[in-house]
Amino acid sequence: MESGQHTTTHRRIDVDGLVFDVALGGPEQAPAVVLLHGFPVNSSCFDAALPRIHDAGLRTVTIDQRGYSPGARPDGVENYRLDLLVSDVIGVLDQLSIPYSLLVGHDWGGIVAWHLAGKHPERFTGLVAVSTGHPSATRDALQQGDDQREKSSYIKEFVAPGAEELLTARNGVLLRRAGLTKDELAPLLEPGALTGPLNWYRANFTGDIAETLECPPIDVPTTMLWSNGDATLGRTQAELTGRYVYGDYRFSELDGVDHWIPQNAPEALAAEIALRSATF
């Protein structure tokens, strides 16, 4: 089979009554990599990186997470707690009979990935965190009063009633200004599609954020991939992450790339995934 010609299989995986849209790609029987998207784009954010990851001899598992898969949109803010987001991923991997994998997470998917690696280290051969530092490092950055507070100020709007209307107004102009493409925006403009994703914020960032961000230190081999052009997640939370990783650790800084590393620097992301996979 020629480079980039690997088959992709789409599955619908039932976990505790919720049905997740999952795509499996790359060489069969190869080491698995599970990729977790952030807000507000689903797993399509990794599309440009996937062929490169497959060419590195890795099999990918991409999941449209709770609130993004149409069959996994439970009512109620309480149904989007972080512990449930974590257990969803374990449930999908169990249903696929994948005992361990490399873990990749961007943005909110990074928060979920850090907690997965910290609480289920036996399931993961390594972690590539994209943009999002260890949650305890983010807590430290917020408490230090650096620019992370300003960068995170948008959260107040996201947890407020009516955030759906704000973000979809004028054909989603605010989301387009944030960098979303027309194809990425389209599913979010469907009626009710933004409520689940916004509930990630409402369920976890309306109380004691420091408590929400509490996460165990990480023992699995870890890469922190961050760009100095990120307008949402700053340097302090990225650089302090090394304090909370006890295993092999690599910090990789990109120059001038914005927050959307999976879409706008897929080559760099795929290279870091391939490099991290080679260490286990």
Annotated catalytic sites, by residue?
107, 201, 259
Please report the beta strands in the chain, taking only residues with DSSP state E, as ranges in sequence order.
Answer: 8-15, 18-25, 32-36, 59-63, 101-106, 124-130, 222-227, 249-254
Helix, strand, or coil (residue 217): coil
Q: What is the spatial distance between Cα 262 and Cα 259, in angstroms, rounded to a whole number?
A: 9
Q: What are phi and psi of 23, to 5 degrees?
A: -120, 135
Helix, strand, or coil (residue 110): helix
- Contacts for 75 with CB less than 8 Å, ≥ 6 apart: none
Q: What are phi and psi of 116, to 5 degrees?
A: -60, -45
